[in-house]
Amino acid sequence: ISHNLSVSFMQKLCKLTVKLSLSQFVSNTFTNCTGVYVSQGGNTFAWTIGPSTNNVSANTGNTPTFNIANNSTATVRLVPFSGSRAITVHIGTLTLSNYFNANNRNITSSQNVQLLPGRSYTITLQIGLGIQVAASDINLTQNGCTASDKNDLAKLRWATGNLKSTGSTNYVWASSTDRGYYYTWYSTYTGNTNINNTDPCSKLNTAYYGTGWRTPSKNELTKLARCTNKILTNSGMWFMNNSIGLFLPAAGCRQDGKGSNTSPTTDSGTDGYYWSSDIGNGNNTGKRLYFGKRYNTADVADHAKNAGLTVRCVKGTKQ
């Protein structure tokens, strides 16, 4: 006697459309978006169902991946969550505005969501050029940050890296952790102690960054200095918020009379010195932001104009 038992499995799925929304770029377009996957609630487990030619992601960790066509969207089928969870979208490679690389990025939803079977959802990844933090998200207040400081800082957009160019035109900024180069006060790169009274941020390549970038004022840096916890981490310091705020490398400086150059002479990794656009109390000094171990503080004070300090550009109405 033989018996055949017919067994079938059925899983109700949901659809998730992944969309990228760019802002503040010269061209709000993207290309080369590959190696994308979705993680549910940070869970690292992964499996697939269905034939190898048509897999369905189930609680996706790092496989299978999918690509998003240039300036388009992609829709994947998912086994619904067992509960309300955050969604993390991992991006393997991504080119923004034909210039900026945003590779190996994880973008996580700010709220938990419940995905239900048979439903369709869209998640939009918002990517902007520079860093702008809402007043409600500024939570590093340990150095005297006020409500007024938060509101004012929320109006500004900061470059994501320090200036890193020589010459006099088509400047670029470095990655967020790179020291960048060192400039005399309110001057383009000279390679010496000369002061040419030219805002180096105005020389950023407009084809990549657009217009309107400038060296921050002493008032803006003073507000920024108040909105930090003064904790040195990963050879730098966070301002406004320690995950979505502004990270400034403790790039050190070139001491008085050392002029501009591509490398520091002191304090690299422990102290940061960033120029403002304002002159100091003496004819030969300019205002700068300082933070780090040497003085165990974060504040704005005078510094010799012929020293070499780093520059972090900003955009917005001058305060």
Residue 145 and residue 100 in one domain: no
* 120 plus 183 within the same structural domain: no
Pair type for strands 246-249 and 73-78: unpaired
Whether 229 and 299 map to the same domain: the answer is yes
Residues 104, 82 within the same domain: yes
Pairing outcome for strands 285-292 and 157-158: unpaired
Tell me, yes or no, whether 164 and 309 share the same domain.
yes
Bridge partners, 300 (sequence order): 289
**pLDDT digit of tens for each residue in the chain (319 aa)?**
666 777 665 667 788 899 999 999 999 999 999 988 887 654 444 444 444 555 555 444 444 678 999 999 988 877 776 678 788 888 999 999 999 999 999 888 888 888 888 889 999 999 999 999 999 999 999 999 999 999 999 999 999 999 999 999 999 999 999 999 999 999 999 999 999 999 999 999 999 999 999 999 999 999 999 999 999 999 999 999 999 999 999 999 999 999 999 999 999 999 999 999 999 998 899 999 999 998 889 999 999 999 999 999 999 999 9
In 210-291, where does DSSP find H-type helix?
218-226
Claim to verify: residue 213 and residue 282 sit in the same structural domain = yes
Closest CA to 310 of 176, 141, 115: 176
Structural domains of the chain, count: 2
Same domain, 124 and 142: no
Residues 150 and 115 in one domain: no
Same domain, 75 and 189: no
Q: Which CATH number do you get for residue 65? A: 2.60.40
Residue 74's domain spans which residues?
14-128
Instruction: Report the pLDDT value the prediction gives residue 144, as an integer from 0 to 100.
Output: 97
Kindly state whether residue 69 falls inside one of the protein's structural domains.
yes
Where does a domain end: 109, 128, 147?
128
Can the peptide bond before residue 200 be classed as cis, meaning omega within 30 degrees of 0?
no
